[in-house]
Amino acid sequence: MKSIFFTRGVPPRESIPVNALAECARAVIIDEGIDILQYAPAAGYSPLRELIAQKKNASMDRIILGQGSLQILDILLHCLLHSGDTVAVEQPTYDRVLTLMRRAGLRICPMNLGRDGLDLDNLENKLGNGEQIRLIYTIPDFQNPSGMVMTLEKRKRLIDLASRFNFYIVEDSPYRDLRYEGEAFPSLFDLVPDTTIQLSSFSKLICPGLRVGYAVLPQNLTKTVTHYAEDTYINPSYLNHAIVYRFLQNGLMEDHLVFLKNLYGMRLKSMLSALDKNMPDRCTWTHPQGGFFVGLWLASNDGPALLERAETQGLRLSDGRGFFVHAGENFIRLPFCALNEEEIQEGIKKLAQIIHP
């Protein structure tokens, strides 16, 4: 029996533009040779920083490139916070971020994502009662793992709370450009560009293996973060930055994005129709218009038992508890991009049978 992997939150093999990247890599090494193969300043390859700065309408010194955006988040947690400080996260949230926060000794305050999104009443109550939250980590667009998008009202209210109670907002937005239908809300960075820390990445837009991610930082943080990065790894891979830059400069991104949106949009539709057709009424799930994930909530706390039952049917699921600080037994993340439509249909049918035998 061939297994179906609902554990795979990664771009599929067929999404990676191998030939175009090979040409970019060759051209970069031939044209720039020593300059990109030598040690270099820690903030990353200037032409790519400049291009991102133009897109963000920010000065270039506010852009730091890293080896993936997750690494920059790790640096930020160490630069901005001390062990024992309190940070807020959406619950559920990206599991690796919980690991980074735990490893940095931070106290994690989970804010539930309910049917209507992030519970800001709870956050405001906590802040009003003296909770010293130093930073909130949020994924407002096509959240990992739930697929949710934060409403405009909530974006504005979160910004208001951050300015009243003086905490950093870290907006992680690797899925924002992967919208298959509907209109985008302004990002938190668009709404308050001077103070929001925005992270993003080319992992989902080109490929994860180049490890090119970036942060747009408030001006007053750039020196500290860059020094910390330099002390950690001297400089990130200029070669990889330059390959991404070539890809963008050669105008390859526009067509590639159309290709990705078509491919993933069809897979998302297939996932939502399979859920509608097969899932018992008592389960609820998100209906995202983009990204990589649909979040499924079970009517009971059967998740852990389901993992084992799923394995016997050739279905691999992630343990929902990994995305939660507390609980998560009733949550399943359903990544749809790395499965073809046949696998999605068959996988959801099997999952529904396991949930409701």
- Residues found near ligand PLP in the complex (CB under 6 A): 9, 68-70, 94, 139, 144, 172, 174, 201, 203, 208, 213
Q: How far is the CB of 322 from ligand PLP (least distance, A)?
A: 13
Which residue is it, tokens 């905490």? Answer: 167
Q: How far is the CB of 168 from ligand PLP (least distance, A)?
A: 16
CA distance 323 to 145: 7
Q: How far is the CB of 129 from ligand PLP (least distance, A)?
A: 29
Q: Is the CB of 291 or the CB of 347 nearer to ligand PLP?
A: 291
Q: Which residue is nearest to ligand PLP (CB)?
A: 68
Q: How far is the CB of 11 from ligand PLP (least distance, A)?
A: 10
**Structure tokens of 344?**
């999605």
Q: Is the CB of 127 or the CB of 171 nearer to ligand PLP?
A: 171
Q: Is the CB of 174 or the CB of 347 nearer to ligand PLP?
A: 174
Q: How far is the CB of 199 from ligand PLP (least distance, A)?
A: 7
Q: Is the CB of 133 or the CB of 139 nearer to ligand PLP?
A: 139
Q: Is the CB of 90 or the CB of 343 nearer to ligand PLP?
A: 90
